[in-house]
């Protein structure tokens, strides 16, 4: 199994239970139209099957994995950390990693500080969400950072 395969497996294992499945569009806690396993879309998106949702998830995860590696190339040496940070990117968008202190701490290899930075990303819709608190902890655990 390649580093990419391991990272993808970890990222999907974190994302799927936190996102949950929906064949129809719903508003996520942050107020965005969402379908399948956490795919942002429009309110008029037609329902999807689990097979279609899997294709969508794979495409979204490919974007998250490549974005995580683009901004934190040190992650290639640790597929577990790469997968965890890819889930962060999947959840919040690659742009959040690009401009973050988290990115700097990862590239410095300063994992204690990276953990502190991950724990700062727990808000959705302007409030702390218990699901995001749990998700960040799952990323820390899966990435073997803490």
Read off the pLDDT band of 88 (50, 70, 90).
Answer: very high
Walk me through the domains of the chain, giving residue ranges and CATH numbers. Answer: 3-142 (1.10.530.40)
Q: What is the 3-state secondary structure (H, E, C) of the chain?
A: CCHHHHHHHHHHHHHHHHHCCEEEEEECCCCCEEEECCEECCCCCCCCCHHHHHHHHHHHHHHHHHHHHHHCHHHHHCHHHHHHHHHHHHHHCHHHHHCCHHHHHHHHCCHHHHHHHHCCCCEECCEECHHHHHHHHHHHHHCCCC
**Structure confidence at residue 124 as a pLDDT band (50, 70, 90):** confident
Report pTM. Answer: 0.95
pLDDT at 146: 72
Q: How many CA atoms, within 13 angstroms, populate the side-chain half-sphere of residue 111?
A: 15
The set of residues, in sequence order, having a beta carbon less than 8 Å from that of 26 and lying 6+ positions away, is 33, 34, 35
Q: What is the mean pLDDT of residues 41-45?
A: 97
């Amino acid at each position: 199994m390649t580093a990419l395969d391991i990272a993808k497996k970890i990222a999907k294992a974190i994302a799927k239970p936190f996102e949950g499945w929906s064949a129809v569009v719903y508003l996520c806690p942050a107020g965005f139209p969402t379908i399948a396993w956490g795919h942002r879309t429009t309110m008029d998106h037609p329902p999807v099957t689990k097979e279609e949702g899997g294709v969508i998830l794979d495409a979204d995860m490919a974007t998250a994995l490549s974005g995580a590696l683009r901004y934190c190339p040190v992650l290639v040496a640790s597929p577990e950390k790469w997968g965890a940070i890819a889930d962060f990117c999947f959840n919040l968008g690659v742009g959040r990693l690009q401009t973050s202190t988290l990115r700097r701490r990862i590239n410095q290899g300063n994992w204690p500080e990276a953990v502190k930075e991950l724990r700062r990303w727990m808000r959705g819709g302007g409030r702390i969400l218990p699901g995001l608190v749990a998700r960040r902890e799952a990323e820390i655990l899966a990435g073997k950072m803490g």
